[in-house]
Amino acid sequence: MASQGSKTISLKVLVDKKTNKVVMAETSSDFVDILFSFLTLPMGTIVRLLREQPQPATIGSMASLYKEVENLDEQQLLQTQTCKSMLLHPRNHSENMCRKLKLNVDDTEPIEYYICADRDCSRRGTGGLYTTFKNVRCNCRKMMDKEIRREKEDEGARPAGDGGVFVCGTNKFMVTDDLQVEPISTDTILTQLHKLGLKDMSSLQETTLSICSEEILKLLKGILFSKAPLTDVFLKKQGFTSDGLKFEMGDPLKSSLSCEGSMTLKLMMSKSMKKVLYAEAGEDMVDFLLSFLTFPLGSILQLLGGNSSLGSMDNLYKSVGRSVVIGADSLRNLLLQPVLCRGFGCSSNPLGLKESEQPPPSLWCTIYSVYDYPDYLTTEEPNFGWPSQLHFVNPKSPTSETAGQGGFIKGPGTFFITDNLVFTPQASFWSLSFLKSMELPLDDLEVRIVKVGTVEALRLLKASLLSNSVFTDALVNFGLKIPKQEK
């Protein structure tokens, strides 16, 4: 971020002096590209960025989930050491594109490639491995810590033509206070003024703002928590708390997938409070909840059908869908249906998020036998040296397998998960002391069993964005019929 400290971009805003509200902003592709790039950020990255702010804000229970991962005993509970950094620093599939933005809120290092430190191991014809994470173990049990360059790292990252990253670089745009983005024209301006019921033009004043990366972060927060982020961030300069977000399940969440529940939640409820005290579940459920941190924001909005209720994020998402200024469908898909980077997919995911084809499942490397030339990875088999095909190792696999999916958490195991997603492995008296701390009479307790399929999974995802009582809100308050457990 340091390198970006002094960079600024300008934003021309039209302010209604009577109400001190932004009527609209006129901007170049630079600013719109930054707005759209928010959709590529994984949830874990957003939680981390918001936490580092002077006035931290939390997205539902995502922050407590993130904190849980930070405190996790990796030796005991996680499949591999890498799992922890994957969840705390999930990779953005479009990070190459984002590096081209004028201001990039998540200024990550370019992807690094590693092979086994033992050259003989990497030279085994078709059996070698490569990885893009530090501290991944090779199947020979040595660490893969020889860093290696990849040929043509930027391939395919640059859109054709002009200077824009996601949108066409020559266009000028109108951005409304609630984050609807359109190409600017006299028509769109007049329509907007009309929509706002502005008849008296004399109160309108034009101001040019100079925005730095710190303000872009504030804007990200504003878009998540406010229905008028431009006014709130740039004019009123106010902080946001998650109190402004109201949890509503809204329309029944629909999905083209309709997977029957394969994961089970055993809910310990208080009858009098109509509240879930805690849930008991297998490691598959904990894996599913943890994987929320790896979901790109755009994929969450897609799963929720653009009805996340997060500030004005839904408007931004819909603007990408409507936008005529994103030339190629492939670019639009990066924003509307962003995928997980390879290795981040999780087997226990009824929401069916796809993994990207990047990095490739296998790459070629030339190992020189005599001279220590810098080796590099390439997509095609080289016809010189000592070519060796290396396969991407699943960073979640403790046995260095190349097959995808799997989970972050070691299994099999049973976990207690509280309503705000704090989880702990089953320990003999945890539930007793928890119930004791609640000071509830025994006959107020009731156990219910829920099968978690696509519908329940979507509800849990939405509730974890907006609520601190995820199971209660997702499964009890909003009308899912859960049978009582037969005695």
- What is the contact surface with Zn ion in residues (CB under 5 A)? 116, 118, 121, 138, 140, 142
Q: Would you call 338 helix, strand, or coil by DSSP?
A: coil
Shortest Å, Cβ 68 to Zn ion: 33
Longest CA pairwise span in the chain (Å): 80
Kindly report the number of other CB atoms within 10 A of residue 361's CB atom.
Answer: 11
Asked if 430 and 424 count as a contact pair (C-beta separation under 8 A), the reply is yes
As a whole number of angstroms, the distance between CA 181 and CA 110 comes to 30
Considering the complex, what minimum distance in angstroms separates the CB of residue 142 from Zn ion?
5
Other Cβ atoms less than 10 A from the Cβ of 327: the count is 16
If the CB atoms of residues 203 and 399 are measured against Zn ion, the closer one turns out to be: 399
31/114 with CB nearer Zn ion: 114
Which token pair is 366?
Answer: 């030339």
Amino acid (one-letter) located at 30: D
Looking at the Cβ atoms of 143 and 209, the one nearer to Zn ion is 143
Distance in angstroms (rounded) separating the CA atoms of residues 148 and 113: 5
Q: How far apart are CA 289 and CA 407, in angstroms?
A: 11
Q: Which is nearer to Zn ion, 124 or 410 (CB)?
A: 124
Q: What are the backbone angles phi and psi of residue 148, rounded to the nearest 5°?
A: -145, 145
E-state strands within 33-112: none
The three state secondary structure string of 387-431 is EEEEEECCCCCCCCCCCCCCCCECCCCEEEEECCCCEEECCCCHH
Q: Is the distance from CB of 308 to CB of 302 less than 8 angstroms?
A: no
- Min CB(140)–Zn ion separation in Å: 3
**Structure-block tokens of residue 273:** 């409070």
Q: Which helix (H) or strand (E) holds 14?
A: strand 8-16
Q: Tell me whether residue 121 or residue 390 sits nearer to Zn ion (CB atom).
A: 121
With contact defined as beta carbons under 8 Å apart, do 259 and 350 qualify?
yes
Tokens standing for residue 33? 């590209």
Of 70, 90, 77, nearest in space to 133 by CA: 90
**Cβ of residue 116: shortest distance to Zn ion, in angstroms?**
3
Q: Is 183 or 387 the residue whose CB approaches Zn ion more closely?
A: 387
The DSSP result for 144-168, as a single string, is --EEEEETTTTTTTSPSSSS-SSS-
**Which residue's CB is nearer to Zn ion, number 127 or number 327?**
127
Q: Is the peptide bond before 359 cis (omega within 30 degrees of 0)?
A: yes
Query: Quick one: 65 or 116, whose CB is closer to Zn ion?
Result: 116
Is the separation of the CB atoms in 409 and 77 below 8 Å?
A: yes
CB of 389 to Zn ion, least distance (A): 14
**Minimum distance from CB of 404 to Zn ion (Å)?**
20
Q: How far is the CB of 117 from Zn ion (least distance, A)?
A: 7
Pairing of strands 146-150, 8-16: unpaired
In whole angstroms, the minimum distance from the beta carbon of 136 to Zn ion comes to 11
The answer to whether the beta carbons of residues 183 and 317 sit under 8 Å apart is no
One-letter amino acid for residue 458 of the chain: L
Pick the closer one to Zn ion by CB: 116 or 276: 116
Closer residue to Zn ion, CB minimum distance, 281 or 367: 367
Please state, as a whole number, how many other Cβ atoms lie within 10 Å of the Cβ of residue 272: 11
Measured from the CB atom, the residue of 23 and 140 that comes closer to Zn ion is 140
